[in-house]
Structure 1
Amino acid sequence: MPADQQTVLDEILLSDLYNDPYPIYRRLRAQAPVAWVPAANRYLVTRYDDIVHLERNPEIFSANEHGSLMTRIMGHTLLRKDGDAHRRERAAAEAPMRPRTVKHHWLPLFQRNADDLIDEFAGDGTADLFQQFAGPLAARNLALVLGLRDALDTDMQRWSQAMMDGGGNYADDPVVWQRADTAAAEIDDAVYAAVRHARRQPDESVISAMVHAPDPLTIDEIRANVKVFVGGGLNEPRDSICVATWAVLTHPTIRAEVEADPARWRAVFEEAIRWVAPIGMYPREVTRTVELGGVTLEPGSRIGVCLGSANRDETVFERPDEFDINRANKAHIAFGGGPHFCLGTWVARAQVAQVALPTLFRRLPGLRLSDTEEVRLGGWVFRGLLNLPVSWTV
C-alpha cells in the first residue's frame, strides 16, 4: 500500500466513524476495500461482494475471534462459535423465533405492548419516540421473547446499551468496561431466575427452549447467549423503528404510498435497515493465509465486517445514499449472512413492519418531526438515531 494511502488510513478516528462513517466507507470501497485501520485495530472490509464471500467461508473467516470484546463481557456466545458448536446452540434457541410462532404467539403481544405505550403519551401531542416508544417497545418485546419475566423496560435498555458499548469499546475505556460488567452480572441474576421458572413451567420463551432442548444448554451457555440477545436484539428493532419513522416523515411521497397500502411497511423496514444498518460492523478472524480484496491476510488477522458500508455499495445499489422503498435491488445484508444469519430476523420484521410503524402512523394523526429540536444520529459498530422528537394533532 502506498505510504500516502496508509497515512490517510492512520488519520481515521473512531470519533469520525461514530459521527458519520459513510464518507469514510465510500473512500475505502474505492481505494482500499480491505484496509488496515489502526484506530479500529483491524482490517475493515467494506465492499458488498467481499463480505458475501467471507460469510460463505466461515472456515477461513472465523467468528471465534481471540480476545473478542464481546466474549470479554458476555462469555463465549453462539455468535463467536463456528461449526457444530454454533449449530447446537442456535438450534436450542431458534424454535420461539420461527415465523409461525412469531405470527400466532408473539405478534398479538407485540401489538398490545405498542398500544399500551402509545396510550401513555397519545394525549400529549409531543414525544421523543426514541425514549418513549421505540426503546421501551423493543425492551418489552425482547423480555417477553427471552422469558425474562421480572426485567423492567429500563433494565433491558440499560443492559442492552452496556452490552453494545462494551462490544464496541475499541477505545478500551475503563468506564465502559465497568458499566458492561455491572450489567452482565445483573443479567446473570435475571437469567438464573428465569431458568428456575422455565424448569417448573415450560413456555414459548427462548430461555425455556434452551432449557428443554433435546441437547439442553448449560446455565453458563444460556447466560452468555441471553447477553448477546439483549445486546443485539433490542437495538436493532429500536433503531429500525426510529430510522424508518424518520425516513417516512422526511419523504412525503413514500408516506403517501404506505398510508395508502399498509403492506408496504415491510418495504420501509427493509430499506431502513439497508440505509442505516443497525449492526454496522462485527468482527471475524482469519484462520489461514488468504487473499481478500487484493490484500493478503495472515492467520490471526482481525477484520471488521462493515455491513453499514456494504449496504451502500454503489456497485450493488443504485443511488445507495438515498432512501427508496421501490429500488430494484433489495438484497441488503443487514441481517448478516451464512451460518450466522440473524436468528431474530422474523421477530424484528414482525414488531417493526407489522406493529410499530403502522400503529404509530395510525394512532398519531398528523405525525411530524419537531420544529424545535433536531434529530441526531451516531455510531458505526451500532448505528441509529439518538432521539426522535415529534408532534401530532391531538
Structure 2
Amino acid sequence: MGTAHGDFADSISLTDLYADPYPIYRTLREIAPVAWVPVAGRYLVTRHQDITALEKQPEIFSAAEDGSLMTRVMGHTLLRKDGDAHRRERAAAEPPLRPRIVEAHWRPKFEANANELIDSFVDRGEADLFDEFCGPLAARNLAMVLGLDGVSDIDMQRWSQAMMDGGGNYADDPEVWERARRAGDEIDAAVADTVARVSRTPDESVISAMIHAPDPLDIEQIRANVKVFIGGGLNEPRDSMSVAIWAVLTNPATRDAVVSDPSLWRSVFEEAIRWVAPIGMYPRQVAQRVELGGVTLEPGSKLGICVGSANRDESVFERPDEFDIFRPSRPHVAFGGGPHFCLGTWVARAQVAQVALPTLFHRIADLAVSPHGEVRLGGWVFRGLLTLPVVWTPS
C-alpha cells in the first residue's frame, strides 16, 4: 500500500514538470521535501534550507554523478568533478571572467553587440525579442568570450539547445541524443580552430586562458568544458534577459521605477533569476550515508537539486510567486552555491543588468507586449521563455 507522499511523487510526469513545475514543487516542499520521483529517476530536493546545506558538503553530496546525462553529452566537465580536479579546471578558465576584466574588456563589446542587434529591428515596430534579441545577444557574447571566432549566432543557439536537451533527456529520446552528438562534433571542430589560433597568439578568451594557464588543460578537458559553457552560459543570460523584459513590461510600477532609477536594473536581474531560475535543476550523488529532509539516503543515491523550487520557498521569500524587485533581500540560489558557484556570474550580470536591459528600454521607450502574439514558457531542468512578441512605435 502506497503513502500519500509516494502516490503524489509517482503521479508526477515530465510533461507537467515542463509545463509548470512550481505547483508540483510547492506540494513537495510541504509533504516530501526530499522525494523519490520515479519519472526523474532521482530524489528531488525542493527546500531552500536543504539545498544551501548540501552545497556546503561536497564531500557528501558529490557532483561526480555516475551515469550523468551531462557527461554522456559533453564529456567529463568541471561541473561533474569535485575537489582538486574541479579547482584546477575552474582556475584555468576563470581569469577572463573576473569582474575587472568583464568591466574593462567585455562590457564595451557587449554594448556594441546589443546596439547592433537593436539596429536590425528598431525601425520595424515589432519583433519576437526571444528570437531576435535575447538569444542572438547571449550567443554572440558567449562566442566572443570563449574565443569562437566566426561561429554564427544561429549555430551557437542550436548547439546550446542540443546540449541542454541532452543534459535533460530523462525521457531517453534517441533523437535528442543524436542532435546532441552532432552538435558536439561541430563544437569540437570549432574548438580545434580556436586552439590552433590562440596557441600561436594568446588573447583574452576563455579558451586561450585554458591553453595558457599555469597548469594548462588538455584538449579533451577544453572540449568538454566549452560544451558545458555553451550549454549553460548561453541559456542563463538569454532566459534571464527575456524573463526580466517580460516582467518589467507586465509590472508598470517596476517599469516606472527603473526608468526613474537605472541602478535598479541590477535588482530586476536578480529578481528575474529568482522568480524563474534559468537552470532549474542540477544533479548530485550521495557519497556516504546521510539524512536530508527527514530521509535517509544511501551512498549512490541520485538527487535533483531543484533551485527553481528553492527560489520560491515560502519560508524564505514572502509571496514567492510574485515578481517584486523591492522584496527584502534574501539569498537566491540561481547561481548555485559552494565550490560550484556559477563561474559566469559576473558576465551574466554585466550583459543583462548593465547592458541589455537598460539599452533596450532606453532605445525603445514605448516597448510593449504584443496584443497579437503569445508569450510562452517551458522547462524544469532549464526553464525560460520560448517566445516574447513585442511592439512599439517605429522611429
Q: The TM-score by the shorter chain falls in which range?
A: over 0.9
Listed one character per residue, the Cα deviations across residues 155-214 of structure 1 (whole Å, up to 9, x for unaligned) are 100000000000000000000000000000000000010000011110000000000000
Q: Name the CA distance, whole Å, in 1 between partners of 2:315 and 2:307.
A: 15
How far is 1:3 from its partner?
2.1
Could you tell me the TM-score, scaled by structure 1's length? 0.99
Listed one character per residue, the Cα deviations across residues 132-170 of structure 1 (whole Å, up to 9, x for unaligned) are 000000000000000001211001000000000000000
2:7 alignment counterpart: 7
- Equivalent runs, 1:1-394 vs 2, <5 Å: 3-394=3-394
Q: One-letter code of the match for 2:357?
A: L
Q: Name the CA distance, whole Å, in 2 between partners of 1:4 and 1:224.
A: 42
SS at match of 1:190: helix
Number of aligned residues: 394
SS at match of 2:234: helix
SS at match of 2:65: coil
Listed one character per residue, the Cα deviations across residues 221-267 of structure 1 (whole Å, up to 9, x for unaligned) are 00000000000000000000100000000000010000111110000
- Percent identity between the two aligned chains: 72
How far is 1:393 from its partner?
1.2
Q: Name the CA distance, whole Å, in 2 between partners of 1:5 and 1:319.
A: 25
SS at match of 1:347: helix
Runs of at least 5 residues in structure 1 that lack an aligned partner in the other structure: none
Q: One-letter code of the match for 1:83?
A: G
Q: Does the CA contact (< 8 Å) of 2:316 and 2:330 recur in 1?
A: no
Q: Name the CA distance, whole Å, in 2 between partners of 1:382 and 1:343.
A: 17
Q: Does the CA contact (< 8 Å) of 1:271 and 1:330 recur in 2?
A: no
How far is 1:331 from its partner?
1.2
Q: Does the CA contact (< 8 Å) of 2:130 and 2:386 recur in 1?
A: yes
Aligned-residue Cα RMSD (Å) equals 0.8
How far is 1:2 from its partner?
5.4
Could you tell me the TM-score, scaled by structure 2's length? 0.99
How far is 1:5 from its partner?
2.3
SS at match of 2:371: coil
How far is 1:373 from its partner?
1.1
Q: Does the CA contact (< 8 Å) of 1:163 and 1:227 recur in 2?
A: yes
Q: Name the CA distance, whole Å, in 1 between partners of 2:385 and 2:247.
A: 11
Q: Name the CA distance, whole Å, in 2 between partners of 1:261 and 1:57.
A: 40
Runs of at least 5 residues in structure 2 that lack an aligned partner in the other structure: none
Q: One-letter code of the match for 2:54?
A: L
SS at match of 1:40: coil
